[in-house]
Amino acid sequence: MADNLLDKASILLTPTAYNDGSMLSVKPENGDGDFTFSRSSAATRVNAQGLVENVQIISSELVSNGNFSQGGQDWTLGSGWSIGDGVAVVDNAPDGERLQQNNVFVSGKTYKVTYEITEISQGGFRGYVGGTNLTTRSAVGTYTETLIAPLNDVFYIRTIQTTSGSITNISVKEITDDTDLPRIDYTDGCGSWLLEPQSTNLYLNSETLATQSNTTSASTYTVSFYGTGTITFSGTHTGTLVGTGANDRVSATFTATAGTLTSTISGTCTKGQLENLSYATSYIPTNGATNTRLQDIANNSGNSTLINSTEGVLYAEIAALANDGIFRIISLTDGSTSNRVSLIYNTTNNFFRIMVVSSGSTVFDISHSVTSTLDFHKVAIKYKANDFAVWIDNVEVATDTSGATPIGLDRITFDVGNSTLNFYGKAKAVAVFKEALTDAELQSLTTQ
């Protein structure tokens, strides 16, 4: 029933689609519900395959059937090439024979090309991108190259000299320099919008992590990395952080004193990160210098036609990034803090706070504890003159039968309403209903 209820929403945002500078709402279809988004810096996410990637890689896969799961479909095979068991195979193929797809590249655009050599006993393979030859490869491994296509042209991988071997997992994606791209993150295994504060990686070479020293203040820091190695701390903090696997991220939060923190690296530690925060944020690559990812800002979805000031429901399925003692807010608002319906992560750990403000006066204000705000919760706020209610995870947790509704509501913002107290967290859904729902509907909507 909950999915059917979402059909009644006037605005519905789910982790489905985005453009540079906007998070695209499912409803309405004319774009009036889309969120304005900005960050003005690059950022990473965990993709659906569980891999960390830069969100500047925005295109869908441009090569069809790159893992050969559909046999030789979409590929043109030169002499000596054959397809079977998820790989493209050559056996004593002469020099220059191609595995090819047409109309892949557009002149002047930047592309990331990846492929895996699974076996090779002689010769080599070399990719070709829109007029440019890639590097010849003659050993088993996964290879990635990034380049600008000089021509509108085909893509192929050719043999170099007489070749015997096999390749698979061929991928081509377009890369842009856009820095206002929202992130749909899959760290939890299911996609959600990721909105984070500004943070700086203080480690200078994050991919090739080596022993290094950093100046710290008397403050809280978090170290994180992927791999099976160990980081041992000395100086302004003592301790160790031990990796658990190549694809697993571990982190440790500690309070340092003022002075020098030395991080001694042993074993394999990649994507290392030292942040002046109480929790680890998404990976920020560095190469010889610190690097800063700026804050995610999302607001200005909707209008007075889609949002009813007289009555309605604000709904969200969200999780906090941390219990960090600051307000993080989603609001229906008139562009100020004087008229708003606000869903708040409170400064008290593991508490939601719900506020309704009308013409500058608070008419509804409740707090409710949950086991952990780090988990996803479904929250619905019903507002109507002398009829307010809050439902969390299919339970009505608060009501009030006295109070006026806000005036002039015309937008949703991931903040308090005036571009402060930004929401930092994960969101699977945000929706607005123009009418107050029944108790049965609110219970269904918020059922986990």
Q: Please spell the DSSP secondary structure of 371-409, one letter per residue.
A: S-TTS-EEEEEEEETT-EEEEETTEEEEEES--PPPS--
* Max avg pLDDT among 58-67, 145-154, 199-208: 199-208
For residue 59, tell me if it sits in a domain. Answer: no
Q: What is the mean pLDDT of residues 317-329?
A: 96
Q: What is the pLDDT of residue 331?
A: 98
Q: Which amino acid is at 73?
A: Q
Residue 131 has pLDDT above 90, yes or no: no
Q: SS3 helix, strand, coil % of the chain, rounded to 5?
A: 5, 50, 45
Greater pLDDT, 222 or 133 = 222
Residue 179 has pLDDT above 70, yes or no: yes
Residue 60 has pLDDT above 80, yes or no: no
Q: What is the pLDDT of residue 93?
A: 94
Residues 139 and 45 in one domain: no
Judged by DSSP in three states, 367 sits in strand
Judged by DSSP in three states, 436 sits in coil
Q: Which amino acid is at 398?
A: A
For residue 181, tell me if it sits in a domain. Answer: no
Q: What is the pLDDT of residue 110?
A: 85
Residues 325 and 207 in one domain: no
Q: What is the pLDDT of residue 58?
A: 62
Q: What is the mean pLDDT of residues 98-115?
A: 88
CATH number at residue 359: 2.60.120.200
Residue 2 has pLDDT above 70, yes or no: no
Domain count of the chain?
Answer: 3
Residue 414 has pLDDT above 60, yes or no: yes
Residues 137 and 205 in one domain: no
Distance between CA atoms of 231 and 237, rounded to whole angstroms? 12
For residue 69, tell me if it sits in a domain. Answer: no
Residue 132 has pLDDT above 90, yes or no: no
- CA gyration radius, the chain: 26
Label residue 275 by pLDDT band (50, 70, 90). very high
Residues 414 and 274 in one domain: no
Query: CB within 8 A of 186, min separation 6: which ones?
Result: 45, 46, 47, 48, 50
Query: CB within 8 A of 209, min separation 6: which ones?
Result: 203, 225, 231, 265, 269, 270, 272
For residue 63, tell me if it sits in a domain. Answer: no
Q: What is the mean pLDDT of residues 410-425?
A: 97
Residues 169 and 222 in one domain: no
For the sheet with 230-235, list strands across it: 212-216, 259-266, 230-235, 239-242
CATH number at residue 110: 2.60.120.260
Residues 349 and 429 in one domain: yes
For residue 103, tell me if it sits in a domain. Answer: yes
Residue 359 has pLDDT above 70, yes or no: yes
Q: What is the pLDDT of residue 107?
A: 86
For residue 377, tell me if it sits in a domain. Answer: yes
Residues 235 and 357 in one domain: no
Residues 80 and 140 in one domain: yes
For residue 62, tell me if it sits in a domain. Answer: no
Burial class (CB within 10 angstroms; exposed 0-12, middle 13-18, buried 19+) of 4: exposed
Longest pairwise C-alpha distance within the chain: 84
Distance between CA atoms of 248 and 228, rounded to whole angstroms? 9
* Max avg pLDDT among 42-51, 131-140, 153-162, 227-236: 227-236
Label residue 1 by pLDDT band (50, 70, 90). low
Which residue, of 109, 140, 175, is where some domain finishes?
175
Distance between CA atoms of 151 and 143, rounded to whole angstroms? 22
CB 67 within 8 A of CB 168: yes
Residue-number span of the structural domain to which 207 is assigned: 199-292
Residues 136 and 82 in one domain: yes
Label residue 115 by pLDDT band (50, 70, 90). very high
In 3D, which of 340, 345, 328 has the Cα closest to residue 379?
345
Of the candidate ranges 85-89, 149-153, 195-199, 299-303, the one whose mean pLDDT is the lowest:
149-153
CB 417 within 8 A of CB 360: no
Label residue 62 by pLDDT band (50, 70, 90). confident
For residue 332, tell me if it sits in a domain. Answer: yes
Residue 103 tokens, joined:
């109309």
How many CB atoms neighbour CB 25 within 10 A? 28
Distance between CA atoms of 158 and 96, rounded to whole angstroms? 5
| DSSP characters over 236-277 | S--EEEE--EEEEEEEEEEE--SEEEEEEEES-EEEEEEESS
Mean per-residue pLDDT over the chain, rounded: 94
Which residue, of 260, 277, 292, is where some domain finishes?
292
Q: What is the mean pLDDT of residues 178-207?
A: 94
Alpha carbon separation from 342 to 7, 191, 292, 314, 412 (Å, rounded): 23, 24, 30, 9, 10
Label residue 399 by pLDDT band (50, 70, 90). very high
Q: What is the pLDDT of residue 69?
A: 93
Label residue 306 by pLDDT band (50, 70, 90). very high
Residues 328 and 314 in one domain: yes
Burial class (CB within 10 angstroms; exposed 0-12, middle 13-18, buried 19+) of 224: buried
CB 67 within 8 A of CB 207: no
Alpha carbon separation from 424 to 250, 321, 330, 374, 434 (Å, rounded): 21, 7, 10, 12, 26
Q: C-alpha angle 311/316/317, rounded to 5°?
A: 155
CATH number at residue 209: 2.60.120
Residues 102 and 137 in one domain: yes
Q: What is the mean pLDDT of residues 351-380?
A: 97
Label residue 3 by pLDDT band (50, 70, 90). low
Residue 385 has pLDDT above 80, yes or no: yes
Residues 257 and 370 in one domain: no
Label residue 167 by pLDDT band (50, 70, 90). very high
Which residue, of 292, 321, 343, is where some domain finishes?
292
In 3D, which of 403, 444, 411 has the Cα closest to residue 430?
411
Distance between CA atoms of 113 and 137, rounded to whole angstroms? 13
Q: Which amino acid is at 387?
A: D
Instruction: Work out the percent of the chain whose per-residue pLDDT is above 90.
Output: 83
Q: What is the pLDDT of residue 383?
A: 98
